[in-house]
Amino acid sequence: MSEIDPKHFRNVMGQVPTTVTVVTAMVDDKPIAMVIGSFVSVSLDPPLAGFFCTTDSYSWGLLKSADVLGVNVLGADQIDVSNNCMRDLDERFDGLDWSVVDGAPKIAGCTAWLTLTPHQVVEAGDHEFALCNVTHLEAAEPANEPVIFYGGGYRTLAPKA
């Protein structure tokens, strides 16, 4: 089996679009946020979802200690929210409209919102997969187009053909 160059692997996988989401939690009464592009539905019965995080992520180290996680699926008009949530940890909520719902920070205007409780963390190379129970979910009414990450940048969906 030939060795795969990590840069080539990243470039090829960059051709797979992902939804931009912000995972949030309250840790020691402070809001924590981390942008992820790997949120996935896992099971309908029971309702399970999950996401991947690098094992050396400081934000993930904080989030995985929380009893409740929020998943904020960002809308096409929320690229600034994603950028906000990549700033210094203590500045990520500055200027954002948010509230605590079901125990986790919910960012206003998202296309979808879920609350999760941790079920299992699975080692996966230089990442961990957080498999979680879905305890609450809602979608924007009317439906709001998501922002996606593709080819190294933010994109929105094309109109239906």
Residue 59 is part of a domain; what is its CATH number?
A: 2.30.110.10
Q: Note the pLDDT of residue 1.
A: 61
Identity of the residue numbered 13: M
pLDDT in tens, 1-45: 679 998 999 899 888 899 999 999 999 999 999 999 999 999 999
Q: Is residue 5 part of a domain?
A: no
Helices (H), 72-124: 79-84
Q: Is residue 39 part of a domain?
A: yes
Domain with 56, as residue range(s), is: 19-149
Q: Is residue 157 part of a domain?
A: no
Distance between CA atoms of residues 40 and 47, nearest Å: 12
pLDDT in tens, 91-147: 999 999 999 999 999 999 999 999 999 999 999 999 999 999 999 999 999 888 999
Q: Is residue 154 part of a domain?
A: no
Q: Is residue 65 part of a domain?
A: yes
Count how many domains the chain has. 1
- The overall pTM is greater than 0.85: yes
Q: Is residue 40 part of a domain?
A: yes
Residues sharing a CB contact under 8 Å with residue 103, sequence separation 6 or more, in sequence order: 26, 67, 68, 115
